[in-house]
Structure 1
Amino acid sequence: MQKPSVGRIVHVPMDPATNNGADAAPAVITRVWNDTTVNVRILADAAPAKSDWRTSLVLVESLSEGVGLCRWAWPERV
């Protein structure tokens, strides 16, 4: 399993209205609390979102799991 570290790219859920229609965005890890909880800086595909920083996000297998914005997932491998 991958371990989060500062500078790694992850995916976070987004409100499509604030992200040019997309429901997810890449984010850069800025702080690692443990193997499942991180802080990130969001790289939205639009003007700066209401909050382009998020704290204490919890790892999920897929962004389709759970609800709310406080979760993150590794990018899918293709």
Structure 2
Amino acid sequence: MSQHPAPSVGRVVRVPMDPATNNGADEAAAVITRVWNPTTVNVRILADAAPRPEDWRTSLVLVENFDEGAGLCRWTWPGRV
């Protein structure tokens, strides 16, 4: 993985989304709310839809891009494809 800043509370990251619950977009911005280690965080999602309880995600794992792995429990830095 290339060099990234250390995750910290308040930083904005990207998370994958189900387009059906995000006004057609397959990703959204999220704010880190807890850092467990350099690759695992909790976030509050800033979806393009009304807030829902599932807009909190825990124990997301850092990936270089969303092609790595499956599911919604991953995050990456802005600017990645």
Letter in 2 for 1:29: I
Q: TM-score, normalised by structure 2?
A: 0.89
The letter of the residue matching 1:48 is P
Cα distance in 1 for residues equivalent to 2:73 and 2:17: 10
- Count, aligned residues: 77
Q: Percent identity?
A: 78
- Please name the residue that 2:56 is paired with: 53
| Unaligned segments of structure 2, at least 5 residues | none
Unaligned runs of 5+ in 1: none
Residue 50 of structure 1 and its aligned partner are, at CA, apart by: 5.1
Q: Distance in 2 between matches of 1:46 and 1:52?
A: 10
Q: Cα RMSD over matched residues?
A: 1.2
Task: Check whether the contact 1:18–1:49 (CA below 8 A) recurs between aligned residues.
Answer: no
Supply the distance in 1 between the matched residues of 2:26 and 2:52 (Cα, whole angstroms).
13
Is 1:28–1:40's contact at 8 Å kept on the other side of the alignment? yes
- Cα deviation 1:33-76 (Å, max 9, x = unaligned): 00000000000001124501000000000122210000000011
Normalising by the residue count of structure 1, what TM-score does the alignment of the two structures yield? 0.93
Matched residue, 2:20: 17
User: Runs in 1 of length 4+ with deviation above 6 angstroms?
Assistant: none
Q: Residue 40 of structure 2 aligns to which amino acid in structure 1? A: T
